Amino acid sequence: MAADTTDIDDIREQARRWLADDPDPASRAELTAVLDRLPASAPELADRFAGPLTFGTAGLRGPLRAGPNGMNLAVVTQAAAGLVGWLAAQGGTGPLVIGYDARHGSRQFAERTAQVATAAGRPALLLPRPLPTPVLAYAVRQLGAVAGVMVTASHNPPQDNGYKVYLGAELGGELGAGAQIVPPADAGIEAAIRAVGPLTQVPLGRPGEVLGDDLVASYVERATAVIAPDGPRDLSVAYTPLHGVGAAVLTAAFARAGFPVPGVVPEQAEPDPAFPTVSFPNPEEPGAVDRLIALADATGADLAIANDPDADRCAVVVRTSGGDDGRGWRMLRGDEVGVLLADHLMRRGVTGLYATTIVSSSLLRAMCAARGLPYDETLTGFKWIVRAGGGSAPLVFGYEEALGYCVAPEHVRDKDGITAALTVAELAAGLKAQSRTLTDRLDELAAEFGVHHTDQLSVRVDDLREIADAMARIRAATPTTLLGQPVDSARDLLPEADVVILRTATARVVIRPSGTEPKLKAYLEVVEPVVDGDVPTARSRAAQAVATLRGEIAAALGV
């Protein structure tokens, strides 16, 4: 009992010191209420003070709550002061451009970042309203900014928020101009954040300059230039932004490109930080696109498209006989959309480097080899994809299986759900003009290169130690056979990355913790040859093999 009392006293003292330095009356009141409930609230208080949110290559991301282990005005003030100090120490010149989504706290966090920057003598440029993440990434390049900050938690739950940092050409280099930070910048910024003194001594300046809509118009103009100006445009699209910030920009881009304006799911059209119609604001989650499919059905749409809440990802739902939902619709996997987009660009004559990640399908590699195009694969994350090849050839396309696509790296050097949607529409309209569909083209690619069936085993945990334990199990007892075939390659990427890769003659498994969510992920792939043009039979064999593989890997991980 004495130890428990000592622990509570220690945490209470930490909380009191935090309260004395917290600049936000609302979070001070929140934390005071937690203190008032001691000792019953001791576990909650301990979690809030378990440690500071760590600034990594994805920036900050965490629950909105008072205390160092949450997203709040105090944490953002400290992060902004550390970032601005680091930029100055690196000799970076130029403005800091700041964007934000429509989540709780996003605008306040963006404005506080601007105030910290201007007090330090650095111009701060705020996007005019809640806008997609790719608009911020575009603005960093377009405005010659030293860096950019995007306040967003992307597709995380409603109670979360986040803080992503992009560097301009001066500090990011040619490959990293307008891209998310990579080591050692993340460690340098983290150290600068920890060196920030009392927040009461962090000076605050003017609010910064709010940019006009001409920047958004410029983004839309450049986005529509990604597709050919004279292609077919007869395509009916149903669309949802999932209560996020993508609708106005995407519909403007479609209209400017000459497509019919997509029909938008009315209940999800406007930004809403509560995300009231979905249990989880991620297009990949079960039920997230049910309303989109209903709208597509009701309107007879050719295609359905969803962005995640900050519109950097793009999901594509297609008509099919006997779809996943029983109504004749199926969401394409990220790998399927990725190879469709790559194939489309290749057939348009776009030459240069094509890249994806180690967890994506190996089909892109096969396509590049057959067509004599340079190829590279990287660790997961667009911060790596846009730096693929190390400058050996200009990057022209990159994708990751988690619905992220970069179809125009010189426009946005990050994943961009708006230009991806436009390019999918261009491809689908061209196929429709030939009485063909996206699934027809997938079958043609399968006939040429074999069926590359991918799936994922994803386990959400409450305790991150469960992930560490599972990774330890697979390393200690690595399977020697999968699908009755010898495991002829077992690679452990430690210490560079917490990743294990297993290969047989026809299968590949990549196991890793998620970088943004409390999940353990195993990415599964089976390659099945197509005999005598019989794609359906090959798909059926591949699906059965992947189902078996899933069970084998789950058993090996102990999940």
Any residues with CB less than 8 A from the CB of 155 and at least 6 apart, and which?
A: 242, 280, 281, 282, 283, 308, 309, 310, 313
- Are 84 and 93 in contact by the 8 Å Cβ rule? The answer is no
How far out from the chain centre does Cα 421 lie?
A: 15
Backbone angles phi, psi at 335, to 5 degrees: -65, -40
Residue 169 Rama label (left phi>0; alpha psi -120 to 50; beta): alpha
Which value, to the nearest 10 degrees, does the dihedral of the CA atoms of residues 494, 500, 505, 506 take? -140
**3-class state of residue 206 by DSSP:** coil
Beta pairing partners, 102: none
Quick one: tokens of 557?
């991980």
Give Cα separations from 12 to 26, 150, 199, 330 (angstroms): 19, 33, 20, 52
- Are 40 and 136 in contact by the 8 Å Cβ rule? The answer is no
**3-class state of residue 321 by DSSP:** coil
Q: Looking at the chain, how many residues does it have?
A: 559
Question: How far apart, in whole angstroms, are the C-alpha atoms of residue 445 and residue 363?
Answer: 9
Give Cα separations from 452 to 147, 372, 421, 530, 535 (angstroms): 39, 20, 23, 10, 11
Place of tokens 């990050």: 414
Q: In what order do the strands lie in the sheet with 353-357?
A: 375-378, 353-357, 395-400, 404-406
Q: Is 106 a catalytic residue?
A: no
From the candidates 27, 154, 361, 362, which is the catalytic residue?
Answer: 154
Question: How far apart, in whole angstroms, are the C-alpha atoms of residue 108 and residue 175?
Answer: 31
Active site amino acids: 154
